[in-house]
């Protein structure tokens, strides 16, 4: 997770208007889900991969490793769709008998499974485009502009900030515990973990208290009003989003 975060801050597309990237991601994602065709899904996968690797400058190896993560779930999910269990062997391309049942793959099942596989992969590539090229702060500022409930965005931004403090605290505590052999045996490890969790809870509570005090001293009145750095708005960017998606929709109808 932290890795994705660092890549987003180093992406070449970092300073692009976040709204454009958000739109590009979700419109293309919707088209990919709606079209439900292997060609469209592959095109989306290609466009998104190209934009992320060449546009954003994300290292190729990192990107493909990241794509492997959902692959495990995808393969198992797709297998469940492709393989059918029936009492009679019917329309199967190949099957094995299994007591009174037949395990087999039909042509229709295979097509559905492949479609599903590429559709999901295309969708994942859209989301990777967003998360690898857009710092979280920008996503939140775009959500704010989209009139997402203020409370929600404020919570998101606080959670995002404190995840990192939380991780550092937990890390230091785990190191301190293991340096005193806290995790050397199973039982002591068990005990150390419970101590870790309870003290992290107490720390978080204290942290919340302190941050509230410091916000109050800067005039907090119930709303976290902040200004964002203005990002360049380029209309050609939006035109590109529109163009690509119109092309995809037309392509769907032609096929």
Binding site for another protein (CB under 8 A): 5-6, 9, 14, 135-137, 157-158, 160-161, 164-165, 207, 210-211, 213-221, 224-229
Q: How many CB atoms neighbour CB 111 within 10 A?
A: 12
**116 HSE (CA, 13 A, CB side):** 17
Task: Kindly state the smallest distance separating residue 26's Cβ from another protein, in Å.
Answer: 23
| Cβ contacts of 169 within 8 Å, gap of 6 or more | 200, 203
Task: Kindly state the smallest distance separating residue 157's Cβ from another protein, in Å.
Answer: 6
By beta-carbon proximity to another protein, the closer residue of 97 and 213 is 213
- What span, in angstroms and rounded, lies between the C-alpha atoms of 247 and 234? 21
Task: Kindly state the smallest distance separating residue 210's Cβ from another protein, in Å.
Answer: 4
By beta-carbon proximity to another protein, the closer residue of 101 and 220 is 220
> Which region holds residue 241: left if phi is over 0, alpha if psi is between -120 and 50, else beta?
alpha
By beta-carbon proximity to another protein, the closer residue of 75 and 155 is 155
By beta-carbon proximity to another protein, the closer residue of 43 and 133 is 133
Are the C-beta atoms of 19 and 232 separated by less than 8 Å?
Answer: no
Task: Kindly state the smallest distance separating residue 16's Cβ from another protein, in Å.
Answer: 13
């Amino acid at each position: 997770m932290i890795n994705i975060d660092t890549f987003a801050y180093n992406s070449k597309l970092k300073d692009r208007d976040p709204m454009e990237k958000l739109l590009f991601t979700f419109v293309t994602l919707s088209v990919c889900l709606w079209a439900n065709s292997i060609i469209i899904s592959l095109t989306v996968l290609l466009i998104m991969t190209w934009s992320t690797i060449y546009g954003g400058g994300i290292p190729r190896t990192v990107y493909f490793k990241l794509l492997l993560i959902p692959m495990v779930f995808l393969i198992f999910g797709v297998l469940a769709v492709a393989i059918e269990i029936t009492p009679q062997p019917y329309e199967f391309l190949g099957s094995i008998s299994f007591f009174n049942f037949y395990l087999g793959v039909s042509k229709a099942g295979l097509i559905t499974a492949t479609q599903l596989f590429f559709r999901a992969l295309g969708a994942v590539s859209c989301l990777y485009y967003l998360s690898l090229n857009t710092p979280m702060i920008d996503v939140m500022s775009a959500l704010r502009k989209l009139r997402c409930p203020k409370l929600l965005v404020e919570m998101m931004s606080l959670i995002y900030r404190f995840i990192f403090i939380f991780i550092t605290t937990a890390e230091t505590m785990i190191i301190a515990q293991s340096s005193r052999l806290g995790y050397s045996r199973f039982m002591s490890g068990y005990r150390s973990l419970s101590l870790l969790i309870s003290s992290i809870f107490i720390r978080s509570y204290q942290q919340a208290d302190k941050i509230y005090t410091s916000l109050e001293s800067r005039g907090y009145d119930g709303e976290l009003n902040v200004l964002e750095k203005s990002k360049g708005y380029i209309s050609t960017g939006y035109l590109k989003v529109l163009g690509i998606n119109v092309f995809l929709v037309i392509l769907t109808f032609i096929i």
